[in-house]
């Protein structure tokens, strides 16, 4: 069994925030793979289902971002799981909007949700880092992440969530490369070539043929003279 955790803040006023993209990701997985109804449990909301051959518990902590580890720790201990069985979906300032990366272990880079999870289960869990971009200055970060996505962000956000839903079984199976490929195919689908094909040279008749070398004149001077008066 695995736990897929989406990070965010509970409450309707936060639902569209950039900080809540983790909630959005697990919501899409639940929808696309017909998970059971959301229920209150482990200081959060959970939904159970399967991704391929793997049983997965989706978890959205209701403890607010900076105490997310309490909810994750309770669920992990109840099912007697290890940190390696936990995957956390979270917003990532250091990635451009729409970018997605998978990482295991390492630091929390100042993310309050990850900081809390580190404190409760250690750092050896998996993360799906969902790029939201950076506002440019450190003092703007708090307002930026707690602000709703702009309407224009739907151009990359919807394909990103669609790719996450489609690739979730591969992620559960431990194949992060195929998961990331599923996301990339939605966010940046390959473009068909629209440039005109080079046309093959056409023949314009005999004039198109390369000129042949002139034949050597082997006539004698007397023959040349005679030919001139014919």
Flag whether 224 is in a domain.
Answer: no
Flag whether 160 is in a domain.
Answer: yes
Looking at the structure of the chain, the number of domains it has is 1
Residue 126 C-alpha from the chain's centroid: 16
Q: What is the pLDDT of residue 204?
A: 47
| Whether pLDDT at 193 is above 70 | no
pLDDT tens digits, one per residue of 55-64: 999 999 999 9
Q: How far apart are the first and last CA of the chain?
A: 106
- Please state which of the ranges 28-42, 48-62, 179-193 shows the lowest mean pLDDT: 179-193
Handedness of CA 137, 138, 143, 144 (dihedral sign): positive
The whole-model pTM stands at 0.82
Domain that includes residue 58, residue range: 2-187
Banded pLDDT at 228 (limits 50, 70, 90): low
| Whether pLDDT at 216 is above 90 | no
Q: What is the pLDDT of residue 189?
A: 86
Starting from the edge strand earliest in sequence, which strands make up the sheet with 2-6, in order?
Answer: 39-41, 44-51, 54-61, 2-6, 86-92, 126-131, 100-104
Which one from 19, 33, 118, 126 is the annotated catalytic residue?
19
Residue 33 C-alpha from the chain's centroid: 18
Banded pLDDT at 191 (limits 50, 70, 90): confident
Tell me if 118 sits within 8 A of 69, measured CB to CB. yes
| Percentage with pLDDT > 70 across the chain | 83
Q: What is the pLDDT of residue 194?
A: 55
| 31 vs 188: which has the higher pLDDT | 31
Flag whether 215 is in a domain.
Answer: no
Where residue 13 sits, what CATH number does that domain have? 3.40.50.1470
For every residue of 192-207, DSSP letters joined together read PP-SPPPPPPPP-SGG
Q: Which phi-psi region, left, alpha or beta, contains residue 88 (left: φ > 0; alpha: ψ -120 to 50)? A: beta
pLDDT tens digits, one per residue of 72-107: 999 999 999 999 999 999 999 999 999 999 999 999
Flag whether 32 is in a domain.
Answer: yes
Flag whether 210 is in a domain.
Answer: no
Flag whether 230 is in a domain.
Answer: no
pLDDT tens digits, one per residue of 67-77: 999 999 999 99
For every residue of 129-150, DSSP letters joined together read EEE----SSGGGHHHHHTSBPP
Catalytic site includes residue 19: yes
Flag whether 129 is in a domain.
Answer: yes
- How many CB atoms are located within 10 Å of the residue 110 CB? 10
Q: How far is CA 46 from CA 41, 61, 142, in A?
A: 6, 9, 27
Q: What is the average pLDDT score of the chain?
A: 89
Q: What is the pLDDT of residue 156?
A: 97
Flag whether 197 is in a domain.
Answer: no
| Whether pLDDT at 224 is above 70 | no
Q: E-strand spans in the chain? A: 2-6, 39-41, 44-51, 54-61, 86-92, 100-104, 126-131
| 109 vs 17: which has the higher pLDDT | 17
């Amino acid at each position: 069994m695995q736990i897929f955790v989406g990070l965010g803040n509970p409450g309707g006023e936060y639902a569209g925030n950039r900080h809540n993209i983790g909630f959005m990701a697990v919501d899409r997985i639940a929808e696309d793979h017909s998970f059971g109804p959301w229920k209150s449990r482990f200081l959060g909301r959970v939904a159970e289902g399967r991704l391929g051959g793997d049983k997965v518990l989706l978890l959205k902590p209701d403890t607010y971002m900076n105490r997310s580890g309490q909810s994750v720790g309770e669920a992990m201990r109840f099912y007697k799981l290890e940190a390696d069985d936990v995957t956390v979906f979270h917003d990532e300032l250091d990635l451009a909007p729409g970018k997605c990366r998978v990482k295991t272990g390492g630091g929390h880079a100042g993310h309050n949700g990850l900081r809390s999870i580190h404190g409760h289960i250690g750092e050896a869990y998996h993360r799906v880092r969902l790029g939201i971009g950076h506002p440019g200055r450190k003092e703007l970060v708090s307002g930026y992440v707690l602000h709703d996505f702009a309407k224009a962000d739907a151009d990359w956000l919807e394909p990103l969530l669609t790719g996450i839903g489609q690739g979730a079984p591969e992620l559960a199976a431990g194949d992060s490369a195929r998961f990331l490929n599923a996301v990339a195919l939605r966010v940046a689908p390959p473009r068909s070539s629209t440039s005109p094909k080079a046309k093959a040279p056409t023949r314009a008749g005999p004039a198109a043929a390369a000129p042949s070398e002139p034949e050597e004149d082997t006539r004698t001077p007397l023959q040349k003279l005679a030919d001139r008066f014919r």
